[in-house]
Amino acid sequence: MQSGGCEVLGWRLFYTRHQLLLPRSIDDLSGDALIDLGERFNAGIEREGVPYLIDPLGQYDVALNDFFATELTNAPPTTQAAYAYDLKRFLMFLWDNRAQRSWRDATPGDRAAYKHWRLFDPAGPRVEATTWDREVATVNQFYRWAVARGHTSCNPFVQRMSRSRDLRRRRGETPAEASHIGRANDVAWLPPGAYRRWREVGIQGFDPSGHPDPAFRGRFASRNAAYCDLMIRTGLRLAEQTSLSVFELPHPVSGMLNVRSWLPLSIAKGGSARHIYFPISALTQVWDFMTMERAEAVEVARASGAYEQIRNPLIVADHLRPFVEIGGARVDVAKLTHAERLRTFMDKSDGLEPIAVWLNEDGLPSKPSAWQEVFKTANVRCAHRGVTIRCHPHMLRHSFAVITLEQLWRGHIQELATMSVPQRETYQRVFGDPLNWVRIRMGHRSIETTQIYLHTLSELEMETRMALVPDGWEPTTVDERDGHNTPDSADRLV
């Protein structure tokens, strides 16, 4: 498509690269220079990996992109990327289907047309209601921010008062455009047996019969298995686990089944800093990776000079008191953001070493996008081997919640069964509620969010009971009087 002699490429998404600067306006740039913006500029933001959007004419909208630099400044990289894609999709619709309308001029009519196209149009994508609800929340947050900042006068998404059942939460406005029919209580999770089968075939390279597959060419299989095992055993989010440093990874302790560590505020989504319990089995796997594959990757990186090529690295000189200097001030490693951790190294006697636990084959800190590819590759491999199990990172987090909650409730109910009412009340005050304990481990602000797992347990219980209902649940006998089959009252279910 051409516009005024300039090729129109559509809305494009880029990410900032550290130490590369972008002018506050790029209206004067054109031609080939516009095509490489994602590679050559950093949008004037010092932080690494912040998304920014370039419009179809190659213009950089300062107000639009300030949303990512300010409103989402503390959000994990995966959240920022999800917001960027959802917002880009709406902007593309305005450009392609609403006469190249600017986001500043969007109306409720545009919003209604967008909803029809996304959900109902035969020529549209017909996304799931849950996908639409997420997109509504994203674009609505952008417009609420833009109106508050004075960048536009109208939010095209109609608002209503929220109807939270949690009395501890204040009522507020929420987009009325949510579908209200999304499968809010459906949780995608894997039972332990299904997870192990997916991991063995998709991640570790076994064939469906459990034997090593000679055709498997996967690298770092033990690292990937350790990563997945840790996620399903701790409930960490993708960005949280990927950003773990060696200072947050505890050592196994003899005689203990779980070792507790602190997930700092700087990398915990939504300010959900909390204690994480690392099961010894999963923790041992991670330390095996640390001492073998990770150590080899660090040696390779040192030999190639990869660490010396990092621009403006942050150095931890004292491992017992881990801090770095930023702008002449000491900053504790626990306060470093996701992006800052990517360029933070320990100064050891044999050379530099990243503080990140999870490194790639080149000895550099891995990113969430790389782990998403690991899961996609594992799913493809399972499909090719006839294993009809798919998994994504958040499914492992759900699996942790469902399995842990079931186990905790089982023990909780057994303890309460033999107690009197006063004893039960005392027990509840001392040991608390399993649902709230899981809420804290998951980093949920509201117990309402965690309650979806109770629905899953209820469904699981009913499915178990249904499996016990015999196939011939209403046996019949021949009535000798008329020769017809009639229910036998002795066998009839009550």
Q: How far apart are CA 136 and CA 127, in angstroms?
A: 12
CB 224 within 8 A of CB 289: no
Instruction: Quote the tokens at residue 471.
Output: 């196939």
Q: Does residue 170 form part of some domain?
A: no
Residues 280 and 363 in one domain: yes
Q: Does residue 283 form part of some domain?
A: yes
Q: For residue 353, what are the β-bridge partners?
A: 346
Residues 348 and 455 in one domain: no
Q: How far apart are CA 152 and CA 170, in angstroms?
A: 27
pLDDT given for residue 60 in this prediction: 93
Q: What is the pLDDT of residues 436-458, one digit of tens each?
A: 899 999 999 888 888 888 878 87
Count of alpha carbons within 13 Å of 45, Cβ hemisphere only? 23
Instruction: Provide the residue range defining the domain that includes 22.
Output: 2-163
Q: Does residue 476 form part of some domain?
A: no
Lowest mean pLDDT segment, chosen from 50-54, 363-367, 420-424:
420-424
Residues 153 and 291 in one domain: no
Q: Does residue 171 form part of some domain?
A: no
Mean pLDDT value of segment 283-312: 96
Residues 117 and 148 in one domain: yes
Domain count for the chain, please give it.
3
CA dist list (Å): 73 to 47, 264, 270, 302, 370: 9, 16, 11, 32, 22
Mean pLDDT value of segment 296-321: 94
pLDDT given for residue 181 in this prediction: 57
Does 163 have pLDDT greater than 90?
A: no
Residues 209 and 305 in one domain: yes
Residues 122 and 10 in one domain: yes
CATH number assigned to the domain comprising residue 295: 1.10.443
Lowest mean pLDDT segment, chosen from 187-191, 317-321, 384-388, 424-428:
424-428
Q: What is the pLDDT of residues 373-416, one digit of tens each?
A: 999 999 999 999 999 999 999 999 999 999 999 888 877 777 77
Regarding predicted confidence, which is higher, 449 or 159?
449
Q: Does residue 173 form part of some domain?
A: no
Residues 196 and 76 in one domain: no
Q: What is the pLDDT of residues 56-96, one digit of tens each?
A: 999 999 999 999 989 988 788 888 889 999 999 999 999 99
Residues 48 and 149 in one domain: yes
CA dist list (Å): 54 to 19, 83, 449, 491: 20, 15, 35, 72
Residues 216 and 314 in one domain: yes
Q: Which of 337, 364, 384 is the last residue of a domain?
A: 384
Q: Which of 384, 412, 438 is the last residue of a domain?
A: 384
SS3 326: strand
Overall size of the chain counted in residues: 494
pLDDT given for residue 473 in this prediction: 58
Q: How far apart are CA 434 and CA 439, in angstroms?
A: 9
Residues 339 and 417 in one domain: no
Residues 269 and 206 in one domain: yes
Indicate the Cα dihedral angle 442, 448, 449, 450, nearest 10°: 40
Instruction: Quote the tokens at residue 18.
Output: 């550290």
pLDDT given for residue 477 in this prediction: 54
Instruction: Quote the tokens at residue 339.
Output: 């992006």
Share of the chain above pLDDT 90, in %: 59
Q: Does residue 490 form part of some domain?
A: no
Instruction: Quote the tokens at residue 390.
Output: 């798919």
Q: Which of 344, 360, 384 is the last residue of a domain?
A: 384
Q: Does residue 445 form part of some domain?
A: yes
Q: Does residue 63 form part of some domain?
A: yes
The widest CA-to-CA distance across the chain, in whole angstroms, is 101
Residues 151 and 280 in one domain: no
Please give the model's pTM, rounded to 2 decimal places: 0.76
pLDDT given for residue 184 in this prediction: 53
Q: Are strands 314-316 and 344-348 parallel, antiparallel or unpaired?
A: parallel
pLDDT-based confidence at residue 173 (cuts at 50, 70, 90): low
Share of the chain above pLDDT 70, in %: 79
